[in-house]
């Protein structure tokens, strides 16, 4: 399976562990992620201005670059949300499509389907088949799936999963052998970009999510958003320490657990980039070098 791949800005900078682990896992599953040439930022957030088409220019140019394949793979929740919602506008608003495509000088009619790697695993590989490919079953690892906002909402436009009772991450984790921990805050906001202007507010949102997950027995959280990973992970450096709590919950990308379960090299995981080190809990599934590093 060959898919054009849009990594987005953050996966080329702060979230290289997300990108590298996904590429390694995809290769182990015979999925070729072909990075788009000369891609640019998608804009990070979907433009809500209905009287202007300029906010649609960047994501439309990205979509148009994959028009021959008809599909575009991405990982970041922000990129996925922006690209998918932009394409919906282009297919339902002929006038805005005309303005944007004329400006970028591209004949694009909205034929590209933006897909998330989790959707590829569910719909093309199949979770039952994925379970058969696992070489290191993560049995006994109690993991809470955290969706955040952008994968699921707005539900009608995203069509990713049930916005109130999603199951894709749960089924994915089960296929790896994890003990899935359900918790009621898995679709709550972590604070998102509020972390820039009012970091204490975002830290409070993240701390509440972590509290509930730990109360339900989670040893680890899994995410698909670089900003969620940052907020939840870094909240434990600041908010938790300030409140005198000893709780330490690693926050990983789903692709990191996938890469471990498929027996990929530890080097693709970049586990040393986390505030809360996940290596002590994952030591039985990691190579000897990673285990030794975690104990230092």
The residue ranges of DSSP E strands in the chain, in sequence order, are 2-5, 32-35, 71-74, 113-116, 142-145, 179-180, 220-223, 251-253
Two tokens, residue 161? 């999963």
pLDDT at 162: 96
Distances (CA, A) of 151 to 8, 83, 188, 224: 16, 12, 12, 8
- Residue 189 above 80 pLDDT? yes
Average pLDDT of 113-136? 98
Tens of pLDDT, residue by residue over 169-185, are 999 999 999 999 999 99
Ordered by where they begin, the domains of the chain are: 2-117 (1.20.1050.140), 120-295 (3.40.50.11810)
Asked if pLDDT for residue 295 goes beyond 50, the answer is no
pLDDT in tens, 141-167: 999 999 999 999 999 999 999 999 999
Q: d(Cα 19, Cα 152) in Å, to the nearest integer?
A: 21
pLDDT, one tens digit per residue, over 27-58 is 999 999 999 999 999 998 898 777 778 899 99
Average pLDDT, the chain: 92
In DSSP notation, 77-116 reads: HHHHHHHHHHHHHHHH-HHHHHHHHHHHT----S-PEEEE
């Amino acid at each position: 399976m060959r898919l054009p791949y849009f990594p987005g800005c953050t996966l080329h900078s702060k979230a290289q562990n997300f990108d590298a682990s996904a590429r390694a896992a995809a290769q182990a599953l015979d999925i070729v992620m072909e990075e788009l040439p000369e891609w640019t930022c998608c804009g990070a957030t979907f433009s809500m201005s209905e009287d202007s088409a300029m906010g649609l220019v960047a994501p439309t140019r990205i979509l148009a670059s994959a028009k021959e394949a008809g599909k575009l793979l991405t990982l970041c929740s922000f990129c996925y949300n922006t690209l998918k919602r932009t394409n919906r506008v282009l297919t339902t608003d002929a006038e805005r499509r005309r303005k944007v495509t004329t400006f970028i000088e591209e004949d694009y009619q909205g034929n590209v389907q933006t897909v998330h790697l989790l959707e590829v695993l569910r719909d093309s590989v199949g979770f039952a088949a994925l379970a058969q490919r696992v070489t290191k079953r993560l049995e006994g690892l109690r993991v809470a799936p955290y969706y955040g906002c952008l994968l699921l909402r707005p539900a009608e436009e995203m069509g990713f999963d049930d916005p109130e009772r999603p199951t894709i991450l749960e089924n994915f984790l089960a296929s790896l052998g994890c003990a899935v921990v359900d918790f009621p805050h898995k679709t709550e906001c972590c604070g998102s970009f509020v972390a820039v202007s009012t970091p204490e507010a975002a830290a409070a949102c993240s701390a509440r999510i972590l509290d509930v997950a730990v109360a339900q027995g989670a040893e680890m959280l899994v995410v698909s958003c670089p900003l969620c990973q940052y907020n939840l992970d870094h909240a434990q450096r600041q908010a938790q320490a300030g409140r005198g709590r000893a709780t330490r919950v690693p926050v990983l990308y789903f692709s990191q657990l996938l890469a471990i379960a498929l027996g990929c090299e530890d080097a693709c995981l970049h586990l040393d980039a986390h505030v809360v080190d996940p290596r002590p809990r994952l030591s039985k599934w990691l190579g000897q070098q990673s285990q030794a590093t975690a104990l230092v």
